[in-house]
Amino acid sequence: MESTEQPRSISGSMQSPRSPSLQPYLSVSVTDPVKLGNGVQAYISYRVITKTNLPEYQGPEKIVIRRYSDFVWLRDRLFEKYKGIFIPPLPEKSAVEKFRFSAEFIEMRRAALDIFVNRIALHPELQHSEDLRTFLQADEETMDRFRFQETGIFKKPADLMQMFRDVQSKVSDAVLGKEKPVEETTAAYEKLKHYIFELENHLAEAQKHAYRLVKRHRELGQSLLDFGKAVKLLGACEGEPTGKAFSDLGTKSELLSIKLQKEAQQVLMNFEEPLKDYVRYVQSIKATIAERGTAFKQHCELAETTKLKEINLDKLMLTRSDKVGEAEIEYREIKAESEEATRRFERIVTRMEEEIVRFQEQKTEEMGVAFHQFAKGQARLACSIADAWKSLLPKLEASSAV
Amino acid sequence: MMGSENDQESKEKMKSLFLREESDPFTRSDQSNSNYRSAMSTLSDSRHPSIVVTPANSDPLFAPQSRSKPNGGSNRDSSSSSYLEPPSYADVIFSPFDDNSEINGSDDGGGSSRHSQSSDSLSRSPSSLTSDYIKITVSSPQKEQESTNSMIPGGNTYVTYQITTRTNLSEYNGSEFSVRRRFRDVVTLADRLAESYRGFCIPPRPDKSVVESQVMQKQEFVEQRRVALEKYLRRLGSHPVIRKSDELKVFLQAQGKLPLATSTDVASRMLDGAVKLPRQLFGDASSSSVEVVQPARGGGRDFLRLFKELRQSVSNDWGGVKPAVVEEDKEFLEKKEKMYDLEQQIINASQQAESLVKAQQDMGETMGELGLAFIKLTKFENEEAVFNSQRVRANDMKNLATSAVKASRFYRELNSQTVKHLDTLHDYLGLMMAVQGAFADRSSALLTVQTLLSEISSLEGRAEKLEAASAKVFGGDKSRIKKIEELKETIKVTKDSKNVAIREYEQIKENNWCEVERLDRERRADFLNMMKGFVVSQVGYAEKIANVWTKVAEETSQYNRESS
């Protein structure tokens, strides 16, 4: 349900409070991934550490253990309750990689989950969420229970009502002969939708190439390693001075192979992952767009229905029918619902307007960081390659002079 | 905005370069160089490389005193700002596809060999200290028809190639001349050389490629063959002894029909085909070490003797194991062993070099594609921009994208250099085959000697028996005595042959030794040059790439979030 607290902004771990005790802060970190369970049942658990001075929280520091599905629960709850807000995305479930559980994969997931929680903690509205508090503080059994409820087969009553209403509106559509889906058609919103959908395509392509680039680094590293070995063996066959020269060449080649593997990992973590995150974010926005569409439809349909009921009521009043009382109650109920639906829709619109601004600014910042790190990494790599090869030249020169 | 058309074009070029590379990375550079080659050919008789962009004294290889700078000179701070260190190899290197490999002759001394190494595709070391040269080009393939009467309309067609030679060697009449030859002529040349220069390391001629000629497109096949022929003839031209041979002279100069005896020896032709067969069957088109002691390479030999020798070396199989020759020279056996090992390692290194080239190529390609994807994103964000943050991002992306495309180009240029340098490994595979051939000549000559020796001993044995039998007959056995006379005559002739064979064997041993010495020397120099060339180009391009990315890092320095 909607938070009634004032939206005072809480600083997170990224903003350093001037005086820790006065400035409200909420800082979260996801750490210490530990593999638990066996075989198919295996999963990773994380320590989530919360440091805060907010009164709503229990104490200045709290540590809980959470697993991936807990994060999913939090995301789903926020998505339900804060329609119109772009809920930060989660890294993919990835059933395949789970089995391999490489150290790099675990670290990347941890980092992504850390970013996820921090984005929520920094968001002016989301940071006040009760579900967030639950996630950050509840003990493990309580958390399990919550999580089970959410993903259980039994839907909550609210969901059932919603499904019923959907069916109802579909039926009335058919009855009223409405074939076309009801959609917003403002120019600005159309532009936004088009932008988001196109953006996803472009980003996906960029991310694909970024991933390939990581592979290329690994392949180049491998080939340098093999080349180095081969050249050393060749050197062993040759007498001096060629033999020593080949041996040096081979050693350098092997050294550079290691640097390339390292850079591959850096590119994966600091360049490809942010791009993937960008794609996920856009997908989250698409989900919000879908929600807005649903809300708009409801608002329209309920407005229609209200009007019909009003007309009906007036008719009954004119004919002094004894059904007036009933009809009046129905009308008032529907009117309330319609107003509620309109409010919901408008809130989504308002939120989205703010969210878009935040989103663009956030992405510019995050991409800038990613580009900067990528460029630095590539420059460093190229320099160490140049230096390594350069160091061979005096020796080669000396060998030729012999 | 970004000239994305040009990038598309270069992307296409990238793709086509890559596709051709799949067949053979080492002919690729020649194919793409051919335009430049004809342009360069007019410049080529200078002994100085026409491609070095900066004055010689900026290249630390030319001016030893400036070499101290890279190691001593500037204090480099470990942070990001400057990665440039004078003298920068980025300046020394060079326009792409520079090809200065025309010259087959020797440059003067060791100094100019360094000149040529950074640009030479066949980093050949000087084979003599004079300024002789011979430059051979193969061009303009043409279809021609057999002039013999043929029932088939259209007749038999074949391809001829124009072979142009420029030389100042005194053995040749003239300094520039041109002939037309067909592939069959090349086979003839190779066979005649093999006969005349037994024991020498003669570069192997291009394959007949029966299978490939059926499978490939005609044009592609002809082009591939042209390249192979050129390489082959240039190798012949760079051999200090063979370049002056009558056979080569006549091949390069004599107009009209090639005045060399054609290979009528069916047996050796058969053997040639048969030996090649396993390689074709197992799909190994590149050179490999098929060790078969072939009796008497080249034709014109005694048919009968041929088969006797075949019988003698009966333990041959196509897998190529030890011949039945009894070689007692330990030094020779050791050398042979060493050569075999060396060949294996060269094969291995050559394969890994191919992988390295492919990996570099892929890196460049993917980097380019990444750049293009970001260019598209930049365009998109700018077109759709509602907020200023989008324009800022679009600008950041543009910087990244243009640098990625630049870096991609550098990777590709580096790769064409790498191919040229590491090609030396591939070249030496061919030369290792030549060494095998030289050793095979020795073994077969020894086989001949041993065959003759055993023949003599069996003839003498028969003569003894006849004499003993004849002595028992009182008064002499006329028929037997006649036989003994004939036998003694045969023995004398055979002994003469044996002496000739021994002399030839000794000569071949001598040739072997000289050639192997020369080869070892040249190989050492060539490999060192190769390494230098490879390393220099790696350094140069790594520096260029580093510059490109440093610029982007500076342009995005506002996003630096690293603490301290």
Check residue B79 and give its pLDDT. 38
Lay out the sheet containing A43-52: strands in order across.
A26-36, A43-52, A61-67
Residues in B touching A378 (Cβ below 8 Å)? 407, 545, 549
B155 pLDDT band (50/70/90 cuts)?
A: low
Check residue B125 and give its pLDDT. 45
Check residue B305 and give its pLDDT. 57
Q: Given the structure tokens 């973590």, which residue do they identify?
A: A269
Q: How far apart are CA B360 and CA B545, in angstroms?
A: 13
Q: How far apart are CA A281 and CA A87, in angstroms?
A: 8
By three-state DSSP, how is residue A108 classified? helix
pLDDT above 70 as % of chain B: 63
Check residue B207 and give its pLDDT. 83
pLDDT along chain A (402 residues), means of 10: 48 51 84 84 89 87 92 93 94 68 85 95 92 92 82 51 59 58 83 94 96 97 97 90 91 96 95 95 94 92 90 86 84 92 94 94 95 96 96 88 68
Under DSSP, the state recorded for A25 is B
Say yes or no: A260 contacts chain B, CB-CB below 8 A: no
Check residue A102 and give its pLDDT. 79
Please check whether residue B366 is in contact with residue A213, taking contact to mean a CB–CB distance below 8 angstroms.
Answer: yes
Compare all CA atoms of chain B with the CA of A192 and give the residue at the minimum distance. Answer: B384
| Half-sphere CA count of B542, side-chain side, radius 13 A | 21
Task: Give me the mean pLDDT over the B79-108 stretch.
Answer: 42
Q: Which one is predicted more confidently, B341 or B469? A: B341
Provide the shortest C-alpha distance from residue A13 to chain B (in Å): 14
Q: How far apart are CA A383 and CA B82, in angstroms?
A: 10
Q: Which one is predicted more confidently, B275 or A252? A: A252
Check residue B315 and give its pLDDT. 35
Q: Examine the pLDDT at B80 and tell me if it is beyond 50.
A: no
Task: Give me the mean pLDDT over the B514-522 stretch.
Answer: 90
Q: B227-267, pLDDT tens digit by residue? A: 889 989 998 998 989 998 999 999 998 888 888 887 655 44
Q: Which of residues 399-418 of B touch A (CB under 8 A)?
A: 399-400, 403, 407
Q: Do A223 and B356 touch (CB under 8 A)?
A: yes
Check residue B303 and give its pLDDT. 52
Q: How far apart are CA B15 and CA B33, in angstroms?
A: 16
Compare all CA atoms of chain A with the CA of B407 and give the residue at the minimum distance. Answer: A378
Q: How far apart are CA A155 and CA A149, in angstroms?
A: 8
Check residue B532 and give its pLDDT. 93
Residues in B touching A227 (Cβ below 8 Å)? 349, 352-353, 355-356
Q: Which one is predicted more confidently, B413 or B130? A: B413
Q: Do A227 and B545 touch (CB under 8 A)?
A: no
Q: Which residue in A64, A243, A255 sits closest to A141, CA to CA?
A: A64
B349 pLDDT band (50/70/90 cuts)?
A: very high
Provide the shortest C-alpha distance from residue B29 to chain A (in Å): 20
Q: B169-215, pLDDT tens digit by residue? A: 888 888 888 999 999 899 999 999 988 898 899 988 888 877 766 77
B474 pLDDT band (50/70/90 cuts)?
A: confident
pLDDT above 90 as % of chain B: 30
Q: Examine the pLDDT at B71 and tell me if it is beyond 60.
A: no
Q: Do A371 and B552 touch (CB under 8 A)?
A: yes
Structure tokens at B108: 């003067």
Out of B377, B389, B407, the one facing A202 most closely (by C-beta) is B377
Q: Which one is predicted more confidently, B315 or B449? A: B449
Q: Examine the pLDDT at B540 and tell me if it is beyond 60.
A: yes
Q: Examine the pLDDT at B346 and tell me if it is beyond 90.
A: yes
Say yes or no: B316 contacts chain A, CB-CB below 8 A: no
Interface test with B, best of A367, A384, A391, A402 (most B CBs within 10 A): A367
Cβ neighbours of residue B449 closer than 8 Å, sequence gap 6 or more: B498, B501, B502, B505
Interface test with A, best of B113, B342, B356 (most A CBs within 10 A): B356
Residues in B touching A357 (Cβ below 8 Å)? 387, 389
Provide the shortest C-alpha distance from residue B135 to chain A (in Å): 26
Check residue B209 and give its pLDDT. 75
Q: Work out whether the CA dihedral A224, A230, A236, A241 comes out positive or negative.
A: negative
Residues in B touching A389 (Cβ below 8 Å)? 535, 538-539, 542
Out of A234, A368, A399, the one facing B528 most closely (by C-beta) is A399
Quickly list DSSP for A334-399: HHHHHHHHHHHHHHHHHHHHHHHHHHHHHHHHHHHHHHHHHHHHHHHHHHHHHHHHHTTHHHHHHH
Compare all CA atoms of chain A with the CA of B397 and give the residue at the minimum distance. Answer: A371
B103 pLDDT band (50/70/90 cuts)?
A: very low
Task: Give me the mean pLDDT over the B152-161 stretch.
Answer: 75
Provide the shortest C-alpha distance from residue B179 to chain A (in Å): 39
Q: Which of residues 228-247 of A touch B (CB under 8 A)?
A: 229-231, 233-234, 236-239, 241-242, 245-246
Say yes or no: B83 contacts chain A, CB-CB below 8 A: yes
Q: How far apart are CA A134 and CA A389, in angstroms?
A: 57
Check residue A173 and give its pLDDT. 56
Q: Do A209 and B539 touch (CB under 8 A)?
A: no
Out of B399, B527, B545, the one facing A382 most closely (by C-beta) is B545
B43 pLDDT band (50/70/90 cuts)?
A: very low
B278 preceded by a cis bond (ω within 30 of 0): no
Q: Do A393 and B380 touch (CB under 8 A)?
A: no
Out of A198, A237, A380, the one facing B345 most closely (by C-beta) is A237
**A to B CB pairs, distance under 8 Å:** 222
Check residue A388 and give its pLDDT. 95
Q: Do B359 and A230 touch (CB under 8 A)?
A: no
Interface test with B, best of A14, A196, A202, A217 (most B CBs within 10 A): A202
Q: Do A393 and B532 touch (CB under 8 A)?
A: yes
Provide the shortest C-alpha distance from residue B49 to chain A (in Å): 19
Backbone φ and ψ for B363, nearest 5 degrees, come out as -60, -50
CA distances from A108 to A33, A50, A104, A213, A373 (A): 11, 20, 6, 18, 16
Interface test with A, best of B92, B378, B548, B556 (most A CBs within 10 A): B556
Check residue A112 and give its pLDDT. 94
Q: How far apart are CA B120 and CA B113, in angstroms?
A: 9
Q: Given the structure tokens 């004055």, which residue do they identify?
A: B55
By three-state DSSP, how is residue A31 classified? strand
What amino acid is encoded at B395 in this protein?
A: N
Residues in B touching A279 (Cβ below 8 Å)? none
Lowest-pLDDT range of B128-137, B281-290, B382-391, B403-412: B281-290
B148 pLDDT band (50/70/90 cuts)?
A: low
Based on its alpha-carbon atoms, the radius of gyration of chain A, rounded to whole angstroms, reads 30
Residues in B touching A380 (Cβ below 8 Å)? 80
